[in-house]
Structure 1
Amino acid sequence: MAAGTLTWCRFKDEASQLLRHSDRIKDGWEWTEVEEDQAGGSFLVKKDVIRQVDERVDARDCVPLEEAEDEDNSDVLGVEYNMEEADTNTVPCELKETEYYRYQYHVLYSTSYSVPVLYFIASRPDGSLASLDEVWSSVPGSFQSRLQDDRWTFLTQQEHPVLGCPMFQLHPCHTATMMQPVMQETHDKDRGSCNYLVSWLSTVGPVVGLNLPLSYAQIGHVT
């Protein structure tokens, strides 16, 4: 295998390790088998990951705080207001009701690139699917600045290779190059080889809100 890639067998071995650890800490990962005997026909799934988005409303849409005092505002956060420091276009107001996206993540094996690939969908509170622009806007600013030039090639909408439904995808074309130095650094006789999937997910997952607990770093590769 080329540097920075992994075999289908290793993908399954490492997925099994990830699943065992997920079961121990109740992290919600599952294994889905659709085409059991075919390379890439089974994959990891994590459902119902909620990402909340708080947005400050425009002054024209604000509910004055004195009017809100008589209402049940248990789900609304009041905004501190200072007349001397306030901008002329702002008024004392509340924040919008907290909005959120519900994510579902699939980790598949790409037989073309011999690397894992992250697919996902994001839905709004009403169940409708979020657009590519909405998904991009939810990417943390630190990643947006680095990925700006490649935003529509790094994050794309593709057909799920097993299920056939449209999903968002983090394109795998640079995965092997990215993972090569990571694997070389961690592969030594004292520590053994790290779990490729965990290292990769820890690197690309946060771009789209998928964060692994630190305890996953304890997983080692099965040889």
Structure 2
Amino acid sequence: MAAGTLTWCRFKDEASQLLRHSERIKDGWEWTEVEVDQAGGSFLVKKDVVRPTSERVCVKNCVPLDDTDVLDVEGSMEEADINTVQCEVKETQYYRYQYHVLYSTSYCVPVLYFIASRPDGSLASLDEVWSSVPASFQSRLQDDRWTFLTQQEHPVLGCPMFQLHPCHTATMMQPLMQETQDEEMGSYLVSWLSTVGPVVGLNLPLSYAHIGHVT
């Protein structure tokens, strides 16, 4: 295998380790088998991840409250008009995410697919998903935003999903795996997911860092 890549067998082994740890800490990872005998035909799934994606500021007319002022019925409307001020009310939108971690037989690396649903159940647009990417990542990915984050057909299910493109994964992972100096020390899958997941709101608990290490 080329540096920075992994085999389908190793992907499945590391996925099994991740699932065992997920079961212990109850954070919801599952294994879905569709094409059982085919490389890349099964994958990891994490459902129902709810996260804020944007914060909207609405300007409304408000009447300041003052306990020392008692308005009579006739004068209340006039007094309210005089004292009305512009108030900012923040409303946060929450979207529901579902993540799939697949194995790419073309690149020999894992690939992250996901969908994001609005509160009414409709799917979020690519622009909406990009706007939810943390600012620290947006500044670094601005030039590659539409090649790094794309909409593709799910290679197993055939439905449209968003994808973090795997073309640079092997290059990114090569130095990370060289640091271990041993294929059995540390988890490629956890290292990769900890690196790319936060871009789209998928964060692993720190306890996953112990997977694959000999104690």
> TM-score, length-normalised on structure 1?
0.83
Aligned positions of 1:42-121 closer than 5 A:
42-53=42-53, 55-59=55-59, 62-64=60-62, 66=64, 91-96=86-91, 98-121=92-115
> Does residue 1:216 correspond to 2:214, yes or no?
no
Amino acid at match of 1:171: H
Q: Which has the higher strand share?
A: 2
Identity %: 84
Other-structure match for 1:206: 198
| Alignment check: 8 A CA contact 2:32 2:44 kept | yes
Other-structure match for 1:17: 17
Other-structure match for 1:79: none
Other-structure match for 1:181: 175
> Does residue 1:195 correspond to 2:187, yes or no?
yes
Q: Deviation per CA, 1:154-183: give whole Å up to 9, x if none.
A: 000000000000000000000000000000
Return the index of the structure with the highest Cα Rg: 2
| Alignment check: 8 A CA contact 1:54 1:95 kept | no
Residues 66/40 of structure 1: CA separation in 2 closer, same or farther (3 Å cut): same
Output the CA distance in 2 between the equivalents of 1:38 and 1:195: 23
| Alignment check: 8 A CA contact 1:65 1:93 kept | no
Output the CA distance in 2 between the equivalents of 1:165 and 1:63: 45
Unaligned runs of 5+ in 2: 66-84
Unaligned runs of 5+ in 1: 68-89
Deviation (angstroms), 1:57 = 1.8
Q: Deviation per CA, 1:32-71: give whole Å up to 9, x if none.
A: 0000000000000000001114524243xx252659xxxx
Task: Find runs of 4+ consecutive structure 1 residues off by over 4 angstroms.
Answer: none
> TM-score, length-normalised on structure 2?
0.86
